[in-house]
Every structure is written in C-alpha cells, then in structure tokens.
Amino acid sequence: MIPLDWRHKELIHLLWAAFAIVGGLAFLELRSREALSGFLSPIMQRRLTAKSSTERTLLRLFLVLGCLMFGVAALMRPLAHGETERVASGAPSADVMFVLDVSRSMLAEDATPNRLARAKNEIAQLVSRLEGQRVGLVVFAGRAAPVCPLTPDHSFFNTVLNTVDTRSAGRGGTKVGEAIKVALRGFPPGQGARLIVLITDGDDQDPYSEDAAKAARDAGVKIVAVGLGSETGSQITLTDPKTGAKTVLMHDGKPVISKLDGATLRKIALVTEGAYIPAGTAAIDLDAIIDSHVRPIVRAAADSATREIKVERYPYMVFGALICLLAALWVGAGAGDSRRSS
C-alpha cells in the first residue's frame, strides 16, 4: 500500500454522509419492493417489471458507496508521502525603477533635441518592451522625488513621464546618491527581481553616491547607469516656453559647460554588479539593456517563483469514483436485459 498524507483530514467525517445516502437508497429500494409485492405476485413482477435481483441491487449500492468514498478521499487531498515536485507560484516578473536626472544640465542640446527629451523618449521605448513587468519613476536634481510608484499600468507610467521636466524635482543640482536611496524605498520589502535604470549626465554633486550604490547591492538591486551627453562638454541652452527664445545658461559671465562624468557612473554600476552604458549623444541601445540585464533578472524571478510541494494523488481518487459510478450505471442497466432474456 502506498503511504499517503492528507491535506484536509477533517473531511473524513463526510463519510457519514456517504453512508447515510447509501442507507437511504437501500431503504427506498426495500420500500419499493414491499409496495410492489402488495400489487403483483413474484411471477408477474418478473414478467412486467425491470426489477433487478437482490444481488444486483446490493452490488449497485456497494458501487455507489465506493463512488462516494472515493469522492470524499479526493476532497481530503491525498499527498504522496515523501515525494515532492516544484511548481510555479506565479507569473515571473521584475520591478524596474527608472531614475531620471531632470537637472538643468540635462537641457544641453548635444543630444537631439536635448538630453532630457532624448532620455524620456528612450525610457518610453524601453517600457514598451517590458510587457508584464512593473515600472516606476523617480526624478532628481538637487533632491529626489518619486513621481510614479511601481505599477504594471504602462499607460499611466507614460502619462506621468510626459509631464516630467526640469521643475519636477524642485531644486537645482544633481544628487545621484539621494535618488538611488529614494528608488530603493520604492521597492516592496523582501527579495525579488529588481533593477534600477539610472539615466543622467553624471554631473554628480552627492559625495555619498557610492554608499547608496552599496545599499542597493546589499538589497539585491542592480543598477544600469546610462550616461547621456558629450564627454567633451556642451553648453546648456534654456528655452522660453512662451516665446521659444533660447538663451545660454551663464555663471559668473561664462557659459556653463556640462560634461558627461562617466567615471562616477561606472563606479556606481560596478558596485552593484550592474553595467555602465556610455550612450553619449547617440541613441540608447535598448536591446542591450533588455538582453543583458532585464531578461536575466526575469529568469531569476522565474527560478525564485517556484516552490516545492508534495505530489498530489487526488486524481487517482477521482478516477476511482468515476469507475465506480460507471459500474453502478452498468449494473443498473443490466436489470432490463435480464428481464428481457427471461
């Protein structure tokens, strides 16, 4: 006999209901036989009715009882003792938090039409390829602000993304470390497949950026840092939203030059075992980000989304119940055949 464990042992009391049902059927069968005997003799009963023999009746009741008992056993969820299997606990997914620099240095026009507009366009394209994944958005300049929590609703994300500009963070400057910390707080507690996509020109004014990267590493979050802009530097052009007039951002009578600081971004990415992508003034290689970083963490999510459970044996009980039911119907149908043969 195969040893079994039972997930719902308390349902064994349903057997009393099974016995009661079969007992009721036996009582009705006996009562119908007595009632019929009051009108017809045994000889006429065999000629005019399809009444089965006592043996067939008992066999049919026994099979009905077996069907009900197998059904109760199936409801009790039998489990193979000592045998386990791995099953998926849900659809694998990743949480991707975009961290976007919205400082005024992102208005430099070395990337067409400017760094910020290019970054927003690239983020929208990347999100369109992250079907089934949750995405969120943190913007930063002199301070960081979460503007879109992690959500599977990509339409909502894109709506929020379209409203982002250099006023979204509310303070001048560029503090990458604070932005990473805010992004980390946006992830749910516990383990999971999580990725930060940091897009900035790397003009970092935060001395604690590397510490923030270490915190991300300890939380199991990888950072893909994308550097936008020219390493040789570019002037920052401000456009008047009303007139469209353009002016160059000045400081102490000299144009402000913004350069891509790839060294800082590379350090941040390598601390988390992520990657630094020097996009410069060209388009971001979206396929490289997806193939090298997003898909691996989704595969990791699929591996972590499995759990080990005991092997279910209830299908055998359902099969036994079906066999007993079909046999009971066949025995009952045989009553008519025996009457016609006589």
Q: Per-residue pLDDT tens for 216-236?
A: 999 888 898 888 876 666 666
Q: Which of 56-65, 72-81, 300-309 has the lowest mean pLDDT?
A: 300-309
Q: Which has more pLDDT, 139 or 289?
A: 139
**pLDDT at 20 > cutoff 60:** yes
The 10s digit of each residue's pLDDT in 234-260 is 666 666 666 666 776 666 667 666 667
For position 200, what pLDDT does the model report?
A: 87
Residue 154: count of CB within 10 angstroms of its CB: 18
Q: Does 147 score more than 90 pLDDT?
A: yes
Q: Enter the tokens of residue 32.
A: 């119908």
Domain(s) of CATH 3.40.50.410: residues in the chain: 95-304
**Of the ranges 34-43, 165-174, 184-193, the best mean pLDDT one:** 184-193
- Residue 65 has a pLDDT of 92
Give the CATH number of domain 95-304; options: 3.10.20.440, 3.40.50.970, 3.40.190.10, 3.40.50.410. Answer: 3.40.50.410
Specify the amino acid at residue 94: A
Percent of the chain with pLDDT over 70: 69
pLDDT tens by residue, 24-72:
888 887 777 665 565 555 555 555 455 556 778 888 889 999 999 999 9
Taking 90 as the threshold, does the pLDDT of residue 215 lie above it?
yes
Which tokens is 247 given?
């002016």
For residue 340, pLDDT over 50 is answered with no
pLDDT score, position 78:
85
Candidate ranges 143-152, 168-177, 183-192, 282-291; pick with highest mean pLDDT? 143-152
Task: Determine the pLDDT at residue 265.
Answer: 86
Strands (E) across the chain are located at 4-6, 78-88, 95-101, 134-140, 144-151, 194-200, 222-228, 234-235, 237-239, 246-248, 250-251, 254-255, 257-258, 275-280, 306-312
Which of 15-19, 55-59, 290-294 is modeled with the greatest confidence?
15-19
- What is the pLDDT at residue 131? 81
Report pTM: 0.60
How far is CA 204 from each of CA 3, 141, 166, 263, 334, rounded to the nearest angstrom? 65, 9, 16, 11, 89
Which range, of 85-89, 183-187, 191-195, 249-253, averages the lowest pLDDT? 85-89
The C-alpha atoms of residue 105 and residue 43 are separated, in whole angstroms, by: 108
Calculate the average pLDDT of the chain: 78
Nearest Cα neighbor of 301 from 222, 184, 226 is 222
Longest dimension (CA), the chain: 125
